[in-house]
Amino acid sequence: MSNERVWRELTVVAMSGGVDSSTVAAMLHESGAPVVGLTMQLWDQRRFPELAPGEIAPQRCCSLDDVYDARRVAEHIGIPHYVVNFERRFEETVVRPFVEDYLAGRTPIPCAACNNHVKFDQLLVTARQIGASRIATGHYARIERNAETGRYNLLRAGDHSKDQSYFLFGLTQEQLAHAEFPLGNLSKQEVREMARRARLPVAEKAESQEICFVPSGNYAKFIESYRRTEGMSEGGEAGELVTTSGEVLGTHNGVQRFTVGQRRGLGIAAARPLYVLQIDADGKRVTVGEEKELWRDGFEARDVNWIAWAELREPIEASVKIRYRHEPAAARIEPAGDASVRGHFAEPQRAITPGQAAVFYRGEEVLGGGWIL
């Protein structure tokens, strides 16, 4: 393995126990960099045993097995490794907002919230406490400094099929200045080959696919268990399934069971396919309709974080992703005050979903992003 950059500063590698972050640790260590591996303990996997009877579901990041794997990799490479407990911070900034968003009729992105509030926030604080000035992760994205503006730019990964810049839109200039993504120009296949050559114990490990704190991937059951144990009385009540004309088609057991664009699991029989169009948590109503009614040409976003510049002062043209697997679509973005924007797509887009992120691109560069209202 090799790394073009000469690493002289102590660097913390956020080791999740997966092949990507493990390969980063091996890359930096081989380059001669002083490296420390830190694994974040984020969630007590035994907290809701009723949700995952028997063995813990596989392919879920941040499990105890992942902690053990990270330690094995660190021992194999020959670098120090520590586990840091961020469970309280993670619950306050990721888990509870996740539950609150679903109960409010939104569809959250916990991985982006974790990046914003834990991985590149609390972990950076911890890194500095042990004398490190940089954090390296296994994300597929790139960071470059703009010589003209002096700002740090966030770019899409060289391999667009693995690009994770969508989940990183919330990073600040301070966080980008101290972050490194060594895999940004590599493909997953290349990373696997590097892991095999280094004989890493996790070289063949499958990728994590589930949200780390939701056993078996059942969001609704998790939300119900969390509400019960935390004494959350607001939200989650039964309500009506209605058409856009107000016709009642049936009832539901809580808006947290739905997301805009959903077709399956509506609990009603109809002569034609129906999709969730809108979720009104206050009115406990879920509006359904035909697929053609899902298409919209406008959106609003709040809490916008700008990376390319400090703030948006005039309208811009950009390509916008409204969910991770969405192909960026041309749109005009206008400032709407108080870190908010309005977006107008050149062509209507399907299932613009409250709670998801709208991330703005110009070519390979991430200009910024915010949360869809």
Q: Catalytic amino acids?
A: 114, 212
Would you tell me how many other CB atoms lie within 10 Å of the CB of residue 248? 10
Instruction: For residue 265, give both structure tokens.
Output: 């699991």
3-state secondary structure of 167: helix
Residue 339 φ/ψ, nearest 5 degrees: 55, 35
Contact 38, 12 (CB under 8 A): yes
Q: How far is CA 272 from CA 167, 246, 289, in A?
A: 35, 17, 9
Q: Helix, strand, coil shares of the chain as percentages rounded to 5?
A: 30, 25, 45
**DSSP codes joined into one string, 184-219:** TT--HHHHHHHHHHTT-TTTTPPPP-B-TTSGGG-H
Question: Can you tell me whether residue 177 is helix, strand or coil?
Answer: helix
> Per-residue b/e over 8-23, b at no fewer than 16 CB within 10 Å?
eeebbbbbbbbbbbbb
Residues 6+ apart with CB under 8 A from 249: 241, 242, 243, 268, 270, 274, 288
For tokens 């976003």, name the residue. 301
Do 47 and 67 contact (CB within 8 A), yes or no?
no
Contact 176, 152 (CB under 8 A): yes
Between CA 31 and CA 3 the distance in angstroms is 6
Neighbours of 246 (CB within 10 A): 9
**DSSP result, 76-122:** HHT--EEEEE-HHHHIIIIIHHHHHHHHTT----HHHHHIIIIIIII
